[in-house]
Amino acid sequence: MKPILLFAQRLRLRSLQPQFVHPVTSFRLFSVIAHNMAQEYKLKDVASLSLKPGEKQEVEVEGLDAKVLLVNAGGTVQAVGPKCTHYGAPLAKGILGTNGKLTCPWHGGKLSPPLSWVCNAADVIAPAQLASTPRLAISKTAPPSIPSPSSRRPNVTVPFTLRVTRRRSRRAVGNPTSSATPWVETRF
Amino acid sequence: MGGDKVLVVGGGSGALGVIEGLRNGGYSGAITLVTNEGYLPIDRPKLSKALLTDLSKLQWRDAEWYKSGNVEVVQDEVTGVDFATKTASTKSGGKFAYTKLVLSTGGTPRLLPLQGFKVLGNIFTLRNVGDAKKINEAIGDKGKKIVIIGSSFIGMEIAVATSAGNDVTVVGMEKAPLERVLGEKVGNLIKAGVEAKGVKFYLNAGVDKAEPSAANPSNVGAVLLKDGTKLEADIVILGVGVAPATEYLRDNSVVRLEPDGSLKTDESFAVVGLKDVYAIGDIATYPYHGPGGAGKFVRIEHWNVAQNAGRTVANHIANPGVKAEFFTPVFWSALGAQMRYAGNTIASGWDDVVLQGSPDQGKWVAYYTKDDTVVAMASMGMDPVMAQCAQLMQLNKMPSKKEIAGGLDVLSLGPPQ
């Protein structure tokens, strides 16, 4: 049984609005990542990520009192915030196409993989986006949290990044008791 | 000269779609937005659905965001465009040069050309935050008699939004509210839900005039219907449609407006007959390629359509050679419960409605059909049926009327694509 863990880090964006993907700023944002130690969080009751394209699953994150939505978006498993940041619709009830496009169940906003990209209106803001590039600036000090639209305000976005990780199998690692057991980021 | 310069005129949903689409698509030229609303682009549906007036809750993005994206926002009104020199001029005497012009000036609420309506106070339309503020002020601490004229979406949403604590009456010309879009059967389903909130209806009704209040003759006191019915009113709200806001082009010798005042565009929302000019949102009449559309021209006053058109324009500016992708028009309406709608019937018309679900329990889907084609659908309490249908329509995989009438549940088809 392979526990599925999440790296969760709080993003400190001055504004909670989506940032322009700007050729100049994106370099700066990238450079921050390397200096941070990621914190790990377990996904409750998830033994493996065997989602097929078009499948999704809402799961609890242990230690965060929060949920994420795991989606197989066109062959890549991503974790996204569980609620649409437009009006807070439960994205677990959205329509995920086998092409990876996720349509919000309430107002038809559509996201393309990587699911940070809004390709169709109704929701002009992407749900929290995880495990996809570009990863945005992160703070070492701020407590990790899963964002959810606290009100019907469309002003929350990508406030954190999560990377879905999988522990290497014990056999592969060789020394299962070592505290230095490597954790390998996996793109599912 | 000075490189690419996109000028966006009008600051609604479509404008935001263009701006986000351009910047997220990597466009690095200049962007200027000229808006006459006095604030940054707002989530306009919240006006009619909740009479919200708090700009911090209404504005999609704050000033800092536009600044960070190098978007210049000008609070002014464009009064004319010189298409030959590619310059727009404004009320306050400004001149803005462009390499690409995006017109997204939206709609202007229609008024009633009837006695009393243009002169009496406390008669409102609802389009912008200022309108919502005036309505809220007039309602004050509630207990008001509110007469809403027009039984389509704006009228119905305002009725629901004001029904608590006020005495609300809707006057409509139709047999059932929303009949023009949803048909009589579905309109009556929705009517029952809104009546449960205490809203009263006068349908099949014609308005004769507005009369002044005895206590304050400068304000409205009653609305008289053609059949002689007198409806006492402290406040009257008109929801009788909008007209494309293109006054600034009316006397332009280069452009020809459609009979309704809109601009005809192609699939990329480029204005037919003009170079480097786009029109989106309420002012755009564009070829519809959804189910049953066959490329016929439609003008759709949805927030979602405006914004998608904006994104389409952004894509076209970045990649002029790429064919615009069809998007399914979607809207929703707060009518006691949330109603959701995908598709469109303007191009094709519709000749039948297939109803699924349990209307008596407030859970239903109505499929609007033309011959054997499902051209649109509406639903309440059946999520995510609308999202599924929007996706199926986009992929041209919507089941036939025969299949739907045979009881097919569209969700049973699984993830589309």
Residue B54 touches chain A, beta carbons under 8 Å: no
**CB-based contact A108 B387, cutoff 8 Å:** yes
B4-36 pLDDT, tens digit per residue, is 999 999 999 999 999 988 987 889 999 999 999
* Domains B5-108+243-318 and B330-413 agree in fold: no
- For the CA atoms of B398, B401, B405, B407, the dihedral, rounded to the nearest 10 degrees, stands at -20
The domain made up of A4-175 has a fold known as Rieske Iron-sulfur Protein (2.102.10)
B40-80 pLDDT, tens digit per residue, is 999 999 999 999 999 988 988 889 888 888 999 999 999 99
ipTM given for this complex: 0.87
Closest of A110, A114, A100, A92 to residue A164, by C-alpha: A114
Residues 6+ apart with CB under 8 A from A24: none
**CB-based contact A106 B328, cutoff 8 Å:** no
pLDDT of chain A along its 188 residues, tens only?
444 544 443 333 333 455 554 333 222 222 233 334 445 566 777 777 778 888 888 888 776 667 778 888 888 777 777 777 677 788 899 999 888 888 889 988 888 776 655 666 555 454 544 433 222 222 233 333 334 333 222 222 322 334 433 333 333 332 222 222 222 222 22
Considering the domain B123-240, what is its CATH architecture? 3-Layer(bba) Sandwich (3.50)
Q: Is the pLDDT of residue B260 over 70?
A: yes
What SS3 class is residue B49? helix
Do A119 and A112 form a contact (C-beta atoms < 8 A)?
yes
**Mean pLDDT of the region B160-174:** 97
CB pairs under 8 A between A and B: 107
Strand partners, B414: none
Residues 6+ apart with CB under 8 A from B416: A95, A97, A98, B388, B391, B392, B395, B397
Q: What is the DSSP letter of A172?
A: H
Question: SS3 string of A82-133?
Answer: CECCCCCCEHHHCEECCCCCEECCCCCCEEECCCCEEEECCCCCCCCECCCC
Query: Of B84 and A11, which is predicted with more confidence?
Result: B84
**CB-based contact A97 B416, cutoff 8 Å:** yes
Across the interface, which of A18, A94, A121 has its CB nearest the CB of B384?
A94
pLDDT score for A168: 35
B176-225 pLDDT, tens digit per residue, is 999 999 999 999 999 999 999 999 999 999 999 999 999 999 999 999 99
Residues 6+ apart with CB under 8 A from A91: A56, A69, A80, A81, A82, A83, A84, A102, A104, A105, A127
Residues 6+ apart with CB under 8 A from A169: A2
B288-321 pLDDT, tens digit per residue, is 999 999 999 999 999 999 999 999 999 999 999 9
**Mean pLDDT of the region B231-239:** 98
With pLDDT > 90 as the criterion, what percentage of chain B qualifies? 93
Sequence spans of domains, chain B: 5-108+243-318, 123-240, 330-413
In whole angstroms, give the CA distance from residue A126 to residue B254.
Answer: 40
Strand partners, B121: B219
Considering the domain B330-413, what is its CATH architecture? 2-Layer Sandwich (3.30)
Chain B nearest-CA distance from A18, in A, is 8
Token pair, residue B178, equals: 């929303």
CATH number belonging to domain B5-108+243-318: 3.50.50.60
